[in-house]
Structure 1
Amino acid sequence: MSLLSPVQPGWVAQGTAPPSSTHRMDLAQNAPGAFELSGSDYAVVGVVLIIALAALAFGYVLIKEVLAAGQGSAKMQQISQAVQEGASAYLNRQFRTLAGFAVVVFVVLFVLPANSTGERIGRSIFFLFGAAFSAAIGYLGMWLSTRANVRVAAASNDPGAGREKAMRVAFRTGGVVGMTTVGLGLFGAALVVLVYAGEAPRVLEGFGFGAALLAMFMRVGGGIFTKAADVGADLVGKVEQDIPEDDPRNAATIADNVGDNVGDCAGMAADLFESYAVTLVASLILGTAAFGLKGLLFPLIVPAIGVVTAVIGVYLTKAKAGESALTAINRSFFISAGISAVLCAVAALVYLPNSFAELTGASPEVAGASGSPALIALAAVLIGILLAAVILKLTGYFTATEHRPVQDVGESSKTGAATVILTGLSVGFESAVYTALVIGAAVFGAFLLSTTLTVALFAIALAGCGLLTTVGVIVAMDTFGPVADNAQGIAEMSGEFEGDGAKILTELDAVGNTTKAITKGIAIATAVLAATALFGAYQDAIVQAARAVSTTITAEAYQVFAPNVLVGIVIGAAVVFLFSGLAINAVSRAAGAVVYEVRRQFKQNPGIMDGSTRPEYHRVVDICTRDSLRELATPGLLAVLAPIAVGFGLGVGPLAGYLAGAIATGTLMAIFLANSGGAWDNSKKLVEDGHHGGKGSEAHAATVIGDTVGDPFKDTAGPAINPLLKVMNLVSVLIAPAVVTLSVGDSASPAVRIAIAVVAALVVVGAIVVSKRRSTAISDAPADDDKIVNGAT
């Protein structure tokens, strides 16, 4: 064996069996296609498909209800129309940019090894399905949100019932996106099972990869757009010109409102869809190995139950008189989660047997395992539902204005921006620890449900499915935030809101900040559960590839004390830091360009301040669009090519370490960024509500600075880590057979393997060098009418 092989002696034992262990890995025992669906099985899948289509139909009913609401004055509608046009133009350009990339990935997936030609074709085709569904959900979220914002603003002005009406329109807008997310996710997975049966898990790898890859691009691009506009608008408008947020004299206001829709609505909707899809992928892959045929179908039944409870949750969300909107939303979430728990318990006890020996298609090792499949599945699903509930409460505590952490950040504004930054950082660091421990406890609890590793990993995946039962309501909570934010912006820009209407929108905006932070916490929890479960799929791919070349890979290949595996862990952790830095730096560059453009307009057009001259809103929208699309390449290439460089260069063991390091660091980093940003944002709202001097005070200026620092934290880098983890895991699963094939056996080719690793590494390095050459310090030279600074021409 070559010393250049990434699978060194001691890590591969020719013809030997894996060592015994308390938890055994039996994934490869069930080859794809080892069983076929019976008539009753097809009936189960058919019912799931009908439920998925019913979710889409219910979403359509909600669309009609939202669009039936009043749109307010002509001026409000004009502002909303400008936001619609900017958001549509951005997403259309983004999709055109990504179309070529999708074609390249389609071809690469077709070339990668597979068990059959049909599986290879299906994996490539459903990659496009996953990407298209992710794009469609993101576009729908943007399309409806840009039409709902003016309706929420108009509803808030209704005497006596404004608060109830505004909240209902905003939440049901989110309900549309939520139902579409669960409908398309469930439809795609069920369709693959219906067509491919036993081969479905491998085909679904393509479906999940397409969803995750497009979601990452939409999350990063939308996040750069929205926060560049937001930061630029705040720094010039609030701090330098001392004018209110969303003042129509600020040239960045339209871009800011556009950004809320392409970042928080489109980006986060696509993100949560890919979380849904990838968790289903992991569950179906592991379920097939752990529970045989029942394991292929039960992960479809659980989220189908979630569709029913999501409908209930959306309709139950109504604020009582004198009750916080956040309390009403949380109540609906807990009710729908409780109903999900009861229905999932019934499904597990009725559908699954009480003995592993009764499972069809399970391997001999799993068939002889102790315990009840029904009880194991039930406990795992309940762990996932409980995890969602705990994260909701925990994140709400650290980011809501009613609790001490945000109040402490607001209090620190009395002594300036520096203490606001420091206090917000401490909130983020502390909250990351508690949330990570909660997620870790859920993973470990699910892991302890079985002494067989295959079943234990499936239990972790089922915990993710349990969490998915709440996704419909979670997406509604997330979309609620930007819709409320936009509604307040339209109200302020129109100049037609005073008194109760303005107060209602301010309250809903603050609640939206908290619900967005909660959904980010839950999204990263699904990422950890799915990524942990995908370790099993990664191992399965390696074992099957090793068997194809008459080699057995032992557990020593993944031992953490092996130096090469430890190096992989370090690299994985470092990639998360690098990815976050690239995303924040991109916002800094684009925001700097916005700052100088808005300054230029104020300087060259004095009539803007007295209202006699209309700002050139389109110029800022153009800066944000071009800069955000230009910055997509580097983080995207890093996510896709870094695992390829590590896998082909260092081997399957270090690549497993790479994934472990990325998951651990990504969990902490994502929560830290999201919660610190949320705390800064709501501390600003707290001051604007009249605390510590109110608007225009030094405390207000300090919290504005904190908010601008937190913007790329919570809305760009933090949430983008979620799809990043899934993309890297799925890339690793897809390339694992090729890594093994080129490393050992008759087909081993160290030169080809090293060449692939070097090329991947060079492309990543080249992209980073190009990115770093774009200056972060933007020249203060004045820009003429035909040239926008920082190269955004």
Structure 2
Amino acid sequence: MTGIAPAVVEVSGGNLVLVIVVALIALGALAMAAMFRQEVLAAGEGTDNMKAIAQAVQEGANAYLTRQFRTLAIFAGIAFFALLVLPADDAVVRIFRSVFFIVGAGFSAAVGYLGMNLAVRANLRVAAAAETTGREPAMRIGLRTGAMVGMLTVGLGLLGASLVVLFFQDEAPDVLEGFGFGAALLAMFMRVGGGIFTKAADVGADLVGKVENNIPEDDPRNAATIADNVGDNVGDCAGMAADLFESYAVTLVAALILGSQAFGDAGLVFPLLIPAIGALTAVAGVYLTTPKAGENGLKTINRSFYLSSGIAAVASIVLSYVYLPGSFADFDNISADLVNADGDPRFIAASAVVIGIVMSAGILALTGYYTGTEYKPVKDVGKTSLTGAATVILSGLSVGFESAVYTTLVIGAAVFGAYLLGGAALTVSLFAVALAGCGLLTTVGVIVAMDTFGPVSDNAQGIAEMSGDVSPAGAQILTELDAVGNTTKAITKGIAIATAVLAATALFGSYATAVAESLADANVADDEFYLLDFSVFNPAVIVGVLLGAAVVFLFSGLAINAVARAAGAVVYEVRRQFREIPGIMEGTGRPEYGKVVDIVTRDSLRELITPGILAVLAPIAVGFGLGVTALAGFLAGAIGTGTLMAVFLANAGGAWDNAKKLVEDGNHGGKGSPAHEATVIGDTVGDPFKDTAGPAINPLIKVMNLVSLLIASAVVSLSVGDDQNDIVRILIALVAVAIIAVAVYVSKQREVTLGDDVPPAPPAAPPTSQVDPTPTAQF
């Protein structure tokens, strides 16, 4: 384990000034977020019908998040006190690790809530702009909405990390563990809960509306339409924003932990400077995203991404050569065994950052190819709709499997390429991997803007269709923007997966460091250092790998099954309303929208508990039960399997979704044809893939890595040395296993109990009048 000995570092002088500058840049990013918010809210809101529908979506989204935060407060309270019990260097660090756990969770919640809060106000403004002022202004409103969320993500992430470094100096990495854990834990719950909500409503709406009754996706006669639009915001806006924020925070945590060991005091500053550059280039990217008349929207967004990434790469190279010394011997407070390390730190840092930026561009291109409507994979899936739903599903699965291989190769090449930069110095190699993650962070502001554009444009189209107040020309603009949004959502999921892998790999290195330090502190005899035998032929490692892979499969299965159960309840309720409420299909009756919102709210909050328990307690069970070596294998298995599974689920779902859009644009028979029905079924299968299970794997692997990092010292102390206590260790493991088993058992016993399984009503003729879509039910 050469090269991981810690050094006492202190941020002072010019470095202290630089950290203060980073904090000021973070505040500037927050100011830009406020400015973008005002720009969006200044736009016109459209007709009274649009306002009424948007108000219903706003009320439903706010009610759901309020209930979700009350539920998550219980988990946060438990975690807060659990962190107080875990070992730390001193009592102050232990206390503030818990305090910043709450700060990280609060920031993650704030990004999710504020992003959603603006998105539900931007959607009708986009719809109104498409009707009154045209495509370019409508697209600009959607992009400004995303820019607000992006700058909020960057600002809060940088602010939290820079304040910890300012106030805690060399103890900052320990405190930051709590900050990252809070952000990751809350994001995972928001991702799972929001994903279940949005896809249960979406699947239920599609099955009863499109497939059974042959009515449009956002037809106001469908009682699940409001819940579907609410779900777009609590899942894609709030959930994804929180997910990308925690990726930002956790990557910074891993970089700062390893940086303090590899580069001394400079290692606590340089990882903050790189994302600070990203904050500045993100602003440039926002203003460079100026829609041009007749230009494809995706081309506009991609231009912004590539230009801002290029500027960030050049600026990062310049910063590396200006700020860092030319040899390791010139660093202050560096560990003794790295003083004579080979290589130029400037070249290592610059190359690692560029690798991360290039990887993000590669993922963007690769994901766009496999999920874009203009490329062969999605066109092939669309063609298979001519032979039925089964072949659509098979071809979509094939796209998902194949794309997972190539995406993983890109991520693996980036990780290994960065690792090789460190040469024989393990800590420097691991820090280089973390710096590649920091390079990717320079693109986060633009990535979040791209992602938020998707649900905003989707909701805008829904509001236009439900209100009936948008002309065919305006509707065509919104259809185009929705298709662009589908592709950007798929792309950002791919990049989010890449950030998760880089952050988890760096945290994995931090875990090995923490284990080695704990063994040294425990005065462990040389013959007990077998605990650090992480060789793949060690049976403990192999068992751990299998368990880590198994947790990813179980987690995915639980999430998808939760959507299936909740969607079943929606199907029963919508069928009941079609059957029992007079005049719905004729356009004279009013559906009870609020009942569907209440069903998916209750079910999603109930169903998110089991995956959350699994993520937190699985590493505890493995670590205390089988030891730190098995836990290392567990983390490796989870990272490897999680990467492949997340890409597979995201890209298969994205291909099915855009294949449906391809048919709806008039190909292979168009809307209402057998081919359309086949692609709707494929999209329905893909919904929980791409928007529930797949994205939730990102925070899952980081939560498990952070939990492992936090418990490493306790596992070592109970396993070897003077404080060895096998009884307590095994008891902790058994309790964790028992809780997981009970939670999974209870989850599997749940059934869809709402309503009777009645056959669908026969499709009715199109309505002769437009129904007033304003919901009267309470949210």
Q: Assess same fold via TM > 0.5.
A: yes
- 2:10 equivalent in structure 1: 36
Q: Any conservation in 2 of the 1:537–1:733 contact (CA below 8 Å)?
A: yes
Deviations for 1:490-532, whole angstroms, at most 9, x for unmatched residues? 0000012232211111111111111111111111101111111
How big is the shift at 1:613? 1.3
Q: Distance in 2 between matches of 1:63 and 1:630?
A: 33
Matches within 5 A, 1:71-220: 71-158=45-132, 161-220=133-192
Determine if contact 1:589/1:778 at 8 Å carries over to the other structure. Answer: no
Letter in 2 for 1:733: L
Name the structure 2 match of 1:790.
Answer: none
1:224 correspondence with 2:196: yes
Give yes or no for the alignment of 1:509 onto 2:509. Answer: no
One-letter code aligned to 1:344: S
Alignment map for 1:273-352 (pairs within 5 Å): 273-352=245-324
Letter in 2 for 1:26: G
Equivalence for 1:603: 579
2:775 aligns with: none
Aligned to 1:740: 716
Deviation at 1:554, TM superposition (A): 5.1
Tell me the CA shift for residue 556 of structure 1.
5.0
Unaligned runs of 5+ in 1: 1-23, 784-792
Match of 2:511 in 1: 538
Q: Which residue of 2 aligns with 1:573?
A: 549
Q: Distance in 2 between matches of 1:634 and 1:685?
A: 34
Deviations 1:143-188 (A, max 9, x none): 0000000000001012xx5110111000110000000000000000
The CA deviation at 1:578 is 0.3
1:657-694 deviations in Å (ceiling 9; x for gaps): 00000000000000000000000001101100100000
Per-residue CA deviations over 1:81-133 (Å, capped at 9, x if unaligned) read: 00000000000000001111111100000110001111111110000000000
Equivalent residues of 1:588, 1:776 under 8 A apart? no
Question: Deviations along 1:425-469, whole A, 9 cap, x unmatched?
Answer: 000000000000000000000011022110000000000000000
Do structure 1's residue 27 and structure 2's residue 40 form an aligned pair?
A: no
Letter in 1 for 2:12: S
Q: Which residue of 1 aligns with 2:570?
A: 594
After superposition, what is the alpha-carbon deviation per residue over 1:372-423, rounded to whole angstroms, capped at 9, x for unaligned?
1111000000000000000000000000101111111111100000000000
1:733-768 CA-partner distances (Å, limit 9, x unpaired)? 000000000011111000000000000001001000
Q: How does 1:406-485 map to 2 (within 5 A)?
A: 406-451=378-423, 452-485=425-458
Q: What is the CA-CA distance between 1:27 and the residue it aligns to?
A: 2.0
Who is 1:699 aligned against? Answer: 675
Tell me, in whole angstroms, the C-alpha distance in 2 between the residues paired with 1:554 and 1:754.
20
Deviations 1:181-236 (CA, angstroms, capped at 9, x unpaired): 00000000000000000000111000000000000000000000000000000000
* TM-score normalized with structure 2 length: 0.96
The count of aligned residue pairs is 756
Letter in 1 for 2:432: A
Letter in 1 for 2:46: G
Residue type of the partner of 2:469? E
1:495 aligns with 2:468: yes
Post-superposition offset of 1:72 = 0.5
Q: Distance in 2 between matches of 1:621 and 1:360?
A: 58
Q: Distance in 2 between matches of 1:504 and 1:466?
A: 35
For 2:752 and 2:393, the matched residues in 1 are separated by 21
What is the identity percentage for the equivalent residue pairs of Structure 1 and Structure 2? 70
Query: Which residue in the other structure is 1:681 paired with?
Result: 657
Report the 3-state secondary structure (helix = DSSP H, G, I; strand = E; otherwise coil) of the residue aligned with 2:269: helix
Q: Offset at 1:775?
A: 2.1
Distance of aligned partners of 1:218 and 1:25 in 2 relative to their CA distance in 1, 3 Å threshold: farther
The DSSP-based 3-state class of the residue aligned with 2:349 is helix
Please say if residues 585 and 776 of structure 1, whose CA atoms lie closer than 8 Å, have aligned partners that are also in contact.
no
In 1, Cα distance between equivalents of 2:559 and 2:120: 25
Please tell me whether the aligned partners of residues 326 and 346 of structure 2 are also in contact (alpha carbons under 8 angstroms): yes
Partner of 2:421: helix, strand, or coil? coil
The CA deviation string for residues 518-573 of structure 1, in whole angstroms up to 9 with x for no partner, is 11111110111111111221012112211221015357521110111100000000
Q: Which residue identity does 2:512 align to in structure 1? A: Q
Question: Mapping of 1:732-771 within 5 angstroms?
Answer: 732-771=708-747
Corresponding position of 1:613: 589
> SS of the counterpart of 2:548?
helix
Confirm or deny: 8 A CA contact 1:589 1:777 kept in the other structure: no
Answer whether contact 1:384 1:463 (CA < 8 A) is retained: yes
Name the counterpart of 2:766: none
Matched residue SS, 1:27: coil
Distance 1:182 1:524 in 2: 18
Give the distance between the partners of 1:320 and 1:330, measured in 2 at CA.
13
Distance 1:654 1:707 in 2: 39
2:500 maps to amino acid: A
TM-score by length of 1: 0.94
Preserved contact between residue 11 and residue 268 of structure 2 (Cα < 8 Å): no
- Tell me, which stretches of 5 or more residues in structure 2 are unaligned? 760-778
Q: Name the amino acid aligned to 1:676.
A: A
Per-residue CA shift, 1:270-315, capped at 9, x if unaligned?
0000000000000000000000011110000000000110001111
Report the equivalent of 1:16.
none
Q: What is the CA–CA distance in structure 2 between the aligned matches of 1:35 and 1:409, rounded to whole Å?
A: 56
Alignment of 1:582-731 (within 5 A): 582-731=558-707
Which residue identity lines up with residue 75 of structure 2 in the other structure? F
The separation in 2 between residues aligned to 1:720 and 1:230, in whole angstroms, is 18
C-alpha displacement of 1:702: 0.4
Please say if residues 9 and 260 of structure 2, whose CA atoms lie closer than 8 Å, have aligned partners that are also in contact. Answer: no
CA distance in 1, matches of 2:187, 2:109: 8
What is the rounded CA distance, in whole Å, between the counterparts of 2:546 and 2:108 in structure 1? Answer: 31
SS class of match (1:558):
coil
Q: Read off the aligned partner of 1:127 and give its amino acid letter.
A: F
Rounded to whole Å, the distance in 1 between the matches of 2:658 and 2:290 is 23
Post-superposition offset of 1:611: 1.6
Q: Contact 1:157–1:501 at 8 Å: present in 2 too?
A: yes
